[in-house]
Structure 1
Amino acid sequence: MTDYHVPVLLDESIGALDIRPDGTYVDLTFGGGGHSRALLGKLGPGGRLYAFDQDADVRANVPDDPRFHFVESNFRFMRGALRLRGVERVDGVLADLGVSSHHFDTRERGFSFRFDAPLDMRMNQRAGFSAEQVVNTYTNERLTRIFREWGELDTPYKIANCIERARAAGPILTISALVEAVAPCTPKKDETKFLSKLFQALRIEVNHEMEALKMALEQSLKVLRPGGRLAVISYHSLEDRLVKNFMRSGNFGGRAEQDFYGRVQSPFTVVSRKAIVPSDDELARNPRSRSARLRVAEKSAER
């Protein structure tokens, strides 16, 4: 498990859930199982934990514990999967939205530009849609949109133009071919940051990550009991903005409703006004945690 992924903000996220020993909890992003194991350590014999992950590789990390229930599914289907298992309400939902070290370090998965490999980036390897399809079949306009929206890149149209010119000579099938294709518009002084954003945009598009996050957040409001807590660790501004707005207002635009008297109505009470970030000690142990942001909210009793 340690080699698969080092859990980020472990103590902070588990503590933020204010765990009841007999409660029912959900880990939406099982991965290496670090957060799940820590959560199980807080549960008594009557507690239950349901952990989601769509990647078949993580089955090797599943603990042998009768209180633990693994759901091999995208977390966008949380509510339906829980209801199939007889669970209507839970006491806490945890999500660590980061890509695991396993994915970045496994060459053939195609998540990192450190290696040459096929353009893949699928979290669920049973899915047919990969980064190869995005790069080779999307129109110039569509590529421009995802590089602008998902990668927040400064000149997305130039990147789309580079890819379009390169693929005119033949399909772009590997990471090295993609890096070569975008070389004319890659800033020499900031190559790593540029490629990180480019790969982020492709990964988000391949796995429909923003859509899945929105669905999971909306479902968390329906499955959490009053007083139940939602804890989300995000790693880039797109995710963090959605999480922050949803926790503050119950919607993704951040516009809180008001009652007849002008009082703000929100389905959550924000527990952490500011995002919780890794300590200096954690950053020294795990540099990949540097962009992590934990936000926590409690479901209001009146909703």
Structure 2
Amino acid sequence: MDYKKIHIPVMVKEVLEVLNPKENGIYVDTTVGCGGHSLEILKRLGQEGKLIGIDRDASAISCCQEVLNDSRVILKQASFSRLKEVLSELNIDRIDGIIFDLGVSMLQLKDFSRGFSFHSDERLDMRMDQSLPLTAWDVVNRYPEQKLERIFRDYGDEPFARKIARQIVKFRGKKTIDTCKELADLVKSVVSERKKIHPATKVFQAIRIEVNREVEELQEGLKQAVQLLKAGGRICVISYHSGEERIVKNFFREEEKKGNIRILNKKPILPSLEEVVINPSARSARLRGGEKL
């Protein structure tokens, strides 16, 4: 599969306006993916500039090696919580800008063997980092009903959380739920059709967040990012669902209260209608930016 053809970076123009890259600055892309945002930042850097591309997914690092084949680029596989550790290993203690493009990538969704997509007959997995011990299969087949309900409600904003959790426990009493399609069909039997999204979207999102500890990783990553920024340095975060958006909004507000950052946009920046037409996956994107004081 040619991942570069399926990957369209979201809100590139808006990201560059927020980051406002300096010619010889040091920039970090914490979700480098296939290198879409990184490549645009790189185009604006001079010979002394530096770009650190980080991703917890090894296949993402492989994907962007060709796109970002440049002496100014360093690629590292790591999670958000290891941000300071990775930069310390590179003898970098201050940066000029950092971007987080949250959520699941097309790279992961289109590779059915990764077990992220509800169209997949592959085993439930959903690990962004294949070395993680917990899989989606473990969550679905081993978590008690109350814990499943809480995850679906808190991480997926799923109104039918209790009903779905009960049905999963009932079903797995007869046999394990092994594939993405099995789970998707089960959820579909409980949830009525939704206009814009697949009935299983919220449940899959919630399980993915649980498996990858996305809430804890995001909170720690944002904290480390602000600590690493130079005065005048910029942070840019793109979120895709209400849970992520809430964490980012509250973090920015707290940091502004403490006098650590200045919020650049009081309300999130939304993608243009033109972009959503070209790239429908951008429709739920929300961008927030801050400047270190």
Asked if TM exceeds 0.5, the reply is yes
State the 1:276 CA deviation. Answer: 1.0
1:206-243: CA deviation from partner (whole Å, max 9, x where unpaired): 11111110010010121011111100011011111111
In structure 2, C-alpha distance between the alignment counterparts of 1:186 and 1:155, rounded to whole Å: 7
- TM-score by structure 2 length? 0.94
State the 1:183 CA deviation. Answer: 4.1
State percent identity of aligned pairs. 39
In structure 2, C-alpha distance between the alignment counterparts of 1:220 and 1:61, rounded to whole Å: 22
State the 1:270 CA deviation. Answer: 0.7
Give the alignment partner of residue 176 of structure 2, picking from 166, 171, 176.
171
Structure 2 CA distance for partners of 1:211 and 1:12, relative to 1, 3 Å: same
Q: Do the aligned residues in 2 keep the contact of 1:24 with 1:92 (CA within 8 Å)?
A: yes
1:89-134: CA deviation from partner (whole Å, max 9, x where unpaired): 0011111113211211111111111232211111112223210000
Let me know the Cα RMSD of the aligned residues. Answer: 1.6
Aligned to 1:60: 63
Q: How does 1:140-179 map to 2 (within 5 A)?
A: 140-179=145-184
Letter in 2 for 1:61: C
In structure 2, C-alpha distance between the alignment counterparts of 1:108 and 1:125, rounded to whole Å: 12
1:88 aligned onto 2:124: no
Q: Do the aligned residues in 1 keep the contact of 2:23 with 2:49 (CA within 8 Å)?
A: yes
Q: Do the aligned residues in 1 keep the contact of 2:120 with 2:179 (CA within 8 Å)?
A: no
Count of residues paired in the alignment: 288
Give the alignment partner of residue 289 of structure 2, picking from 276, 279, 296.
296
Aligned to 1:3: 5
1:44 aligned onto 2:46: yes
In structure 2, C-alpha distance between the alignment counterparts of 1:42 and 1:111, rounded to whole Å: 34
Aligned to 1:28: 30
Question: Which runs of 5 or more structure 1 residues have no equivalent in the other structure?
Answer: 251-255, 258-264
1:19 aligned onto 2:21: yes
Q: Do the aligned residues in 1 keep the contact of 2:127 with 2:135 (CA within 8 Å)?
A: yes
In structure 2, C-alpha distance between the alignment counterparts of 1:195 and 1:50, rounded to whole Å: 35
Question: Which runs of 5 or more structure 2 residues have no equivalent in the other structure?
Answer: none
In structure 2, C-alpha distance between the alignment counterparts of 1:245 and 1:6, rounded to whole Å: 28
Q: Do the aligned residues in 1 keep the contact of 2:116 with 2:180 (CA within 8 Å)?
A: no
Q: Do the aligned residues in 1 keep the contact of 2:53 with 2:73 (CA within 8 Å)?
A: yes
State the 1:75 CA deviation. Answer: 2.1
In structure 2, C-alpha distance between the alignment counterparts of 1:291 and 1:266, rounded to whole Å: 30
Q: Do the aligned residues in 2 keep the contact of 1:3 with 1:102 (CA within 8 Å)?
A: no
